[in-house]
Structure 1
Amino acid sequence: MNGNTRISQDSENNDFFSFSAQQPLPQQQQRNWICDDNSNDTRTKIPTELSSDSSDASIMSTRNIIHTKNNKGKYSNFSTIDWPLELAKDRQRQKTLKSEKWQSFWHWLKFRLDSGSGWFCVMLVGIFTGITAAFIDVSEGWLSDFKLGFCVDKFWLDHEHCCTQFNSVKNCTTWKTWANILETNEHSFLHFFVDFTFYLFSSILMAFLSACLVVKFAPYASGSGIAEIKCIMSGFVIRRFLGIRTFIGKTFGIILSSASGLSLGKEGPAVHVSSCIGNVVSRWFPKYSKNEAKKREILSASTAAALSVAFGAPIGGILFSIEEASYYFTFKTLWRSFFCALVAGLSVRAFNPFGNTLPSLYHVEHTRRWMVPELIPFALIGVVCGLLGSAFIRLNMRLNRYRKNSIISSYPITEVVSVAFITSLLAYGNPFTKISSAALIRQMFNDCDKDNHPEYCYNYPIEETGIFVQLCIALFMKFCLTVITAGLKVPAGLFVPNIATGALTGRIIGLITQSVANKFMIYEGSQPFCKVGEDCVMPGLYAIVGAAALLSGVMRMTVTLVIIMFELTGSIDFVVPTMAAIMIAKWVGDATYPMGIYDAQIELNNFPFLDNKENKEDGDSEIQDLLVRHRKTEPLIVIQQSGMTIHELEKILNETSYCGFPVVESLESKLLVGFCDRRNLQANIAEAVGIDFATPVAFTSEVTTGRELRWLNAVDVAPICVSPLSKIEIVAEMFAKLGLRQVLVTEKGELIGIVTKKDLLTYLREI
């Protein structure tokens, strides 16, 4: 069984992969990632020293040598699905249903139910996503305001809804701070001390509970989960990452962590929560539960629904799924994603008891239009935000590498509590950081005029107020705290904190531009855009542009961000400057750091992700160079077409963890017959009846002796093969576009070696 060619065959030998501090691996699974999880293998091991002709090898009970049927057909943890195989299985299933539909009414009904099951599945995903999002929004809003006080008339209302009957929140008498409840003097130190103490204590308590949920209950609920979901969409299998336990931990964890005041958002984790819902709901439909490729269509629709409920941006959610999250996105998936986002958007409105009277989440109404000369400061915003985005990624990756390799990783809850304490301590003294990120974004997006400018909007001229300095301090604090927070063991998204940081950046540049324009009267009287005596520059518009530009600098998306910002603000008039700033920010970001935050997290965690949207350039390297570079001391394990016994096959399965084995005509000729997947081999052994160790097996359709088992059905007789002279960049495109797990290297029909996805990723990351 052992040939002479020594090359890499560890198709899923996962010492190549490791979780970092960004996404912890549960303690019980901290081992090398392998294709077959032998620790969970409940079969009886056959002693390797037992010969096939032993007296003990007479007819045995099947249970002594078969694998459990519970795991039949399932991919092992931390393995990669076989996309061509899964899609071929689905085509065969559809063909069978179609051919049988006229046999009886039941077959016809079964065919119709199967055809409509996809729509019904995504409808359920949308409904449950909307209900969950409404629960998160209401709970997070109430807990966030609870740090500052509560509604004395109706304690279940947050600050905004408690004061709806009053013209202004400042004139609200039904909302009491904690110091007011104790009836302290409003101008005394005790008044400040009571409010600050309760704010600090409640923030730390919420962060502590969120960290405990993650560390003790749902380890996979940490972070935003988008990087891992990208890998899952590409075919990677992470058991329990999208399970019910993770769903519960993520839902309650994001409520607590977001309400605690940490510099994070709940929009990123919403993608993870929605994907958990999609994964659980897909189990109810055999069409998706039994096919990993089809299941990922539901996950793509779930991703679109997540942003639909998180931002009120259904179209942006669909584009996010296409541009960032999904690996393969067909037109059928597009239609179902659209329907899922629609249902989710309707559900969150229906199940949110407070609703939303505004047409968009951060609705703005600017009365003036932007002018062409303003494209210069808009471009400046793009440059600054591109640099800030690259700096954010670089600093965050360095910090997370340090977390991973230092003693900090042993005390995740202590780290979260410490960061929550520092965040609350620093944020309380600044009016822009004391409030929630959502409230800060609304303030930055709004515009003001000379006759109506609350304190946070006082911007004319900037030298007469300390607002400019406060904005700069808030920007520095928000940026640094977000860098530190991204990577803590709590559910944490990056959308909202980066929108807030970008809005602060844009607002500052807008104030500077406004000051210069007013001082030199650059735009005044420029009809019809600006009348004499009016402020011609709108700092709120600059904040919108800055928010979009920083998101582009951090995440390296373009079209999606334009649509999301349009749906967030409802300002279609400002699409052009937003597009310009986003494009410039992406150019600057790509020039200063080669990848976005999610791709950087994937690289940090060494996830097996091969981007199918990027070209792989590797000069003149050939596959034979990769084989030489990754040559191992162990021989290539192959299966002979005939002449093998059950004992020999069991020995191979027991002693290796490879995901499959090449089938050759003989050990001498090495002529390739096909490729036998490990799962197929295990399934055939499990289903065999009345076999013993000496039972011969042949992987052929030819008529053989009566006792010999014919298992050609376990073999892919047309595997993807390449020449040793094939260019690596071409093979990389094949892996990415076809979703391959391995390709066989042959010359004149003779097997030379195997190139796995792991081999290719290792090579591409080393060059």
Structure 2
Amino acid sequence: MADDESERNPLLEKEQIQRPQSSGSSSSINASTGDVESDPIQSLLSSNSINRSEESQPEKLLSAKFESLDYDVCENALYLREEKKKTTKEIIRKELARWFVSLAIGVCTGLIACLIDYLIELTSSIKYGYVRNYVEKCVEDFCLYAPFLMWVAFNAFIVMFGAILVAYGEPMAAGSGIPQIKCYLNGIKIPHVVRIKTLICKVLGVVCAVAGGLAVGKEGPMIHSGAVVAAGVSQGRSTSFGIDFKIFEYFRTDTEKRDFVSGGAAAGVAAAFGAPVGGVLFSLEEGASFWNQALTWRIFFASMTSTFTLNVVQSYIKGNPWELSNPGLINFGEFEDSKYAGFEIPIFMVMGVIGGLLGALFNQINYMLTCYRLRYVKQRWNQVIEAMIVASLTATAGFVTIYFNNDCQPMKDKTQTNLVQFFCDDGQYSTTANIFFQTPESSVKDLFHNQPGSYEVKTLGFYTLVYFLLATWTYGLSVPSGLFIPCILIGAAWGRLTGIFFNYAFPEADWADPGKYALMGAAAMLGGVVRMTISLTVIIVEATGNISYGLPVMIILMIAKWVGDFFNEGIYDMHVHIQGVPILGWEPPVMSSNISAIEVMSHPVTVFRTKETVGRIVSILKADEHHGFPVVSNFDPHDGTISRETFGTFEGIIIREQLIILLKLKVFEENPDYQLILKNIKASDFRDTYPRFPPIQQINLTSQERDMTVDLTVFMNPAPFTISDRASLPRIFRLFRALGLRHVTVIDDKHQVIGMVTRKDLARYKIWRHHGQISMEEIQISHG
């Protein structure tokens, strides 16, 4: 049965259990009182809950194009035969191979991070060097249009190259990649998400995006890059380039690959922030649906290896071999004054509220822009043009801000040569120009650690507003783009404003450190946009090297998340739902206990008999796109008089790829070599073509072979998970979520097959939270 089959069950009408339907409404729950404002049975089960005005909203539809991954092990006779033959040596070798792959993932991810950082620094220094020289010359000659046009041209050209790579090379490389990796680890097969082509476009594209001056960071794309590295290394080959090293063949399953991708994502976080523990927690909190202690150790090992590799290589690049003081792409620097008083905690809580409000506004604006892009910016050349326009406007906004707000400060360190004087007197530099004429990571460190009085209020105010608007527009362009750095910059700017305010209000107070409040503002803004708590707390603590800030940062992140969730979703979840991905959350939908399996399941069911003709298998595989098929006995598909409420006695389940391999190897009972084939067939025969199995159209069979039969009992899973037709939706949901199932068969009390439940059948039930109200509705599935 396909995991995209989601039609309403006709059995409901026959058994007189269909619920009354409301006219396009859903149930609404008052969050404060818990009172239900309408009949929950009528509204929760309404299949007409989407009115015409909502049909155009992307998040109101599930896309049928997304398939699920097979995390459940097929314990058929072939699998059990090979498991019994395993020796101690083979088991140890496989376990050592897991650790070796984890080591390779960490090393490769760290090296890619170094490459990205080096290329960005090189390109940015060339760009800002030329522009800075022209600015200094043209201030006196009144020809500022020359450096302005040069800045715009640099940005537009570099970003154009990155946008072409993504739009024409690999669209999956756009954005941070975190939503896609989150979906992959949740059990959803996202096309091209972990291919080597995606990695190449991601690496080169993020260099162009950051060096082109866009309001993006390189940290988010590093997480995606680490995941792609993990997927490639663990498989020992590249299907994109047709290269097979004939190693790690036993890892070519969805379950093994998922575990390594979890480690790659964690290694990406470790390389980005120098936070190996934060990387492990990130994979646990935002990605991995399934966890165990052995996996935790391997992921932590990959994270430690990643940050250590980056540290060593960076020390050589900076001319200080083995001075291991560069653990990540961004280093927040040491906060010398790590003190905070108890009376400041309410201040931090208020900052968390502000961060939640600004984050909700950020997400809402970005959501509307993303919906606009989906409707009107579809052509590739349009996507490239939009990226160039944003790059040009980013340079224009920076130049205009510098020109009209030339905040001059005394130059305290004479050795600094990268400062811009602009219209300032000798011995002074423009802080406004300095914050724009450097990489975002350098700006973050300045906002955190510059001395009090380094920035005027209007400078930080303008910067917060300009960068906020630019960042909301930029995320979603056809370029690789991370959100962490833009959010940190915005939050650090208004957080430093908060510190300046307290300095004005309490001039004698030594606790009102603008740098400390810049850090808290950065945490609040991050929490309000991405809605992460545990992992982000650890990442910030590790990046600052100051554990004393752990408590206030955690409080701020939790409050920012609660406030933001009151209005809308986190940015990553929002983009997942916009794409129509059938992701399953941590918990089943509220108030869904009254929904039973018979109301959720898909019906009718396509089944195979224990001994099936080749012709019928081929016909069904060509006609249907289903993935899993129950294997039954006591069923005649040619008997038109039998009832279609049941489909035979359940014996097991077989998946599409297994059937295709059986047809390819001609495992037919009438084949003269049948016993020899049956004796020599191995589990590796089903892994050789993973993950791109041949389509059924490529299997050539003669008319005589189509009349032969296949014994499916040897290859089917004889003991898959099944559910009773009386099981509730929450029970089914937890079964799927905990075990990573793709589909499950619904049987009645006589062990007869009556339906199938798939991921999309469960993902149809969505929870929406708006201004304290909780509602649930059943959404439609788009096959477009």
Global fold match (TM > 0.5): yes
2:542 counterpart residue number? 567
Q: How far apart, in 2, do the equivalents of 1:92 and 1:499 lie? A: 52
Task: Verify: 1:537 aligned to 2:517, yes or no.
Answer: no
Residue 482 of structure 1 aligns with an amino acid whose one-letter code is A
One-letter amino acid of the structure 2 residue matched with residue 178 of structure 1: N
Counterpart residue number, 1:686: 664
Alpha-carbon separation, structure 1, partners of 2:449 and 2:277: 24
AA partner of residue 394 (structure 2): T
Q: How far does the alpha carbon of each residue in 1:266-305 deviate from its partner, in whole angstroms, 9 at most, with x for none?
A: 1010011111111111122435542210111111111111
Task: Tell me, yes or no, if structure 1 residue 395 matches structure 2 residue 373.
Answer: no
Partner Cα separation in structure 1 for residue 226 and residue 338 of structure 2 = 39
Following the alignment from structure 1 to structure 2, what is the Cα–Cα distance between the partners of residues 686 and 666? 28
Partner Cα separation in structure 2 for residue 112 and residue 476 of structure 1: 57
1:362-407 CA distance string (max 9 Å, x none): 1133336222222222111100001111111222112111110124
Matches of 1:505 and 1:674 in 2, distance apart?
60
1:367 alignment partner, one of 310, 315, 337: 337
Instruction: Give the aligned partner of residue 666 of structure 1.
Output: 634
Give the Å deviation of 1:206. Answer: 0.8
Distance 1:536 1:684 in 2: 72
Quick one: which amino acid aligns to residue 651 of structure 1?
S
Cα 1:311–1:407 change in 2 (3 A) is closer
Deviates more, 1:230-239 or 1:579-588: 230-239
Question: Does 1:233 pair with 2:147?
Answer: no
Q: Which aligned pairs between 1:331-730 and structure 2 lie closer than 5 A? A: 331-352=293-314, 353-354=317-318, 358=325, 361-367=331-337, 369-407=339-377, 411-428=382-399, 429-430=401-402, 431=432, 432-449=435-452, 453=453, 455-456=454-455, 467-518=456-507, 524=508, 535-593=510-568, 595-611=569-585, 613-624=586-597, 626-627=599-600, 635-642=604-611, 644-667=612-635, 668=642, 670-688=648-666, 709-730=710-731
Compared with structure 1, are the counterparts of its residues 332 and 90 closer, same or farther at alpha carbon in structure 2 (3 Å cutoff)? farther
Distance in 2 (CA, whole Å) between partners of 1:439 and 1:333 is 35
Structure 1 residues 653 and 607, CA gap change in structure 2 (3 angstroms):
same
- Helix, strand or coil at the partner of 1:488: coil
2:264 pairs, out of 284, 302, 313, with 302
TM value normalised by structure 2: 0.74
Question: In 2, distance between residues paired with 1:513 and 1:308?
Answer: 35
In the superposition, relative to structure 1, how do residues 232 and 14 fare at CA in structure 2: closer, same or farther (>3 Å)?
farther
Aligned-pair distance for 1:11?
A: 1.9
The letter of the residue matching 2:664 is A
Q: Tell me, which stretches of 5 or more residues in structure 2 are unaligned?
A: 9-55, 237-246, 403-431, 636-641, 675-707, 768-776, 779-784
In the alignment, is residue 756 of structure 1 matched against residue 711 of structure 2?
A: no
1:13-33, Cα deviation, whole Å (9 max, x unpaired): 5999xxx9999xxxxxxx985
Task: Work out the CA distance in 1 between the residues paired with 2:554 and 2:765.
Answer: 37
Q: Is residue 223–residue 490 contact of structure 1 (8 Å, CA) maintained in 2? A: yes
Q: CA deviation at 1:646?
A: 1.7
Structure 1 alignment gaps of length 5 or more? 1-8, 24-30, 35-77, 102-107, 151-175, 457-466, 519-523, 525-529, 697-706
Partner SS state of residue 67, structure 2: coil
> Deviation at 1:345?
1.2
SS of alignment partner, residue 149 of structure 1 = helix
Q: Whole-Å Cα distance in 1 between the matches of residues 6 and 199 of structure 2?
A: 26
> What residue number does 1:251 align with?
203
Q: Deviations over 1:99-147 (max 9, x none)?
A: 434xxxxxx3x44322200111111111111111111101101212222
Q: 1:141 to 1:664 in 2, by over 3 A?
A: same
Q: CA deviation at 1:265?
A: 0.7
TM-superposition CA deviations, 1:405-431 (whole Å, max 9, x none): 124655100110111111110012341
Alignment of 1:109-128 (within 5 A): 110-128=90-108
Aligned to 2:773: none
Distance in 2 between the 1:713 and 1:231 partners?
33
Name the amino acid aligned to 2:142. F
Determine the C-alpha separation between the residues in 2 that align with 1:266 and 1:601. 19
Amino acid aligned to 1:84? D
Following TM superposition, by how much is the alpha carbon of 1:308 offset from its aligned partner in structure 2, in angstroms?
1.2
TM (normalized to structure 1)?
0.76
Shift of 1:641: 3.4
Paired amino acid for 2:194: L
Q: Which residue number corresponds to residue 693 of structure 2? A: none
2:540 is paired with a residue whose SS is: helix
Percent of aligned positions that are identical = 29
Q: Is the 8 A contact 1:226 1:598 kept in 2?
A: yes
**What's 1:165 paired with?**
none
Of 84, 90, 95, which aligns to 2:72?
84
1:698-722 superposed Cα distances (whole Å, 9 cap, x missing partner): xxxxxxxxx8643202322223222
**Farther off after superposition, 215-224 or 665-674:** 665-674
- The answer to whether the 8 Å contact 1:122/1:301 transfers is yes
CA RMSD of aligned residues (A): 3.2
8 Å contact 1:383–1:584 — kept in the other structure?
yes
Task: Name the CA distance, whole Å, in 2 between partners of 1:334 and 1:87.
Answer: 26
CA distance in 2, matches of 1:87, 1:506: 56
- SS of 1:603's equivalent in the other structure is helix
The answer to whether the 8 A contact 2:271-2:306 is kept is yes
Q: Deviations over 1:228-265 (max 9, x none)?
A: 11111122223432112111111111001111110111
Q: Indicate the residue corresponding to 2:18 in structure 1.
A: none
In structure 2, the partner of 1:178 is: 133
Separation of aligned partners in 1, 2:711 and 2:474: 58
User: What amino acid does structure 2 have at the position aligned with 1:638?
Assistant: V
Sort the Cα spacing of 1:588 and 1:365 in 2 relative to 1 into closer, same or farther, 3 A.
same
SS at match of 1:716: coil
- How much has 1:691 moved relative to structure 2? 6.9
State the shift of 1:551 in Å.
1.2
Q: Contact 2:58–2:580 at 8 Å: present in 1 too?
A: no
The CA deviation at 1:690 is 6.7
1:732-751 correspondence to structure 2 within 5 Å: 732-748=733-749, 749-751=751-753
Quick one: distance in 1 between partners of 2:335 and 2:486? 23
Distance in 1 (CA, whole Å) between partners of 2:78 and 2:100 is 18
- Structure 2 distance, partners of 1:708, 1:248, is 46
Aligned counterparts of 1:734 and 1:291: Cα–Cα separation in 2: 21
SS of the counterpart of 2:175?
coil
Paired position in structure 2 for 1:100: 87
Cα separation, 1, equivalents of 2:597 and 2:346: 52
Question: Aligned to 2:137, what secondary structure does the other structure show?
Answer: coil
For the residues of structure 1 that align with 2:3 and 2:497, how far apart are their CA atoms?
52
Deviates more, 1:249-258 or 1:238-247: 238-247
Instruction: Compute the displacement of 1:649 (Å).
Output: 2.0
Q: Contact 1:214 / 1:220 at 8 angstroms: preserved in 2?
A: yes
CA distance in 1, matches of 2:293, 2:544: 29
The count of residues paired between Structure 1 and Structure 2 equals 626
Residue type of the alignment partner of 2:70: D
Kept in 2, the 8 Å contact 1:622–1:725? The answer is no
- Aligned equivalent of 1:461: none
- State the distance in 2 between where 1:495 and 1:91 align: 45
**1:8-65 alpha-carbon deviations (Å, 9 max, x no partner):** x54235999xxx9999xxxxxxx9856xxxxxxxxxxxxxxxxxxxxxxxxxxxxxxx
Secondary structure at the aligned position of 1:752 is classed as strand
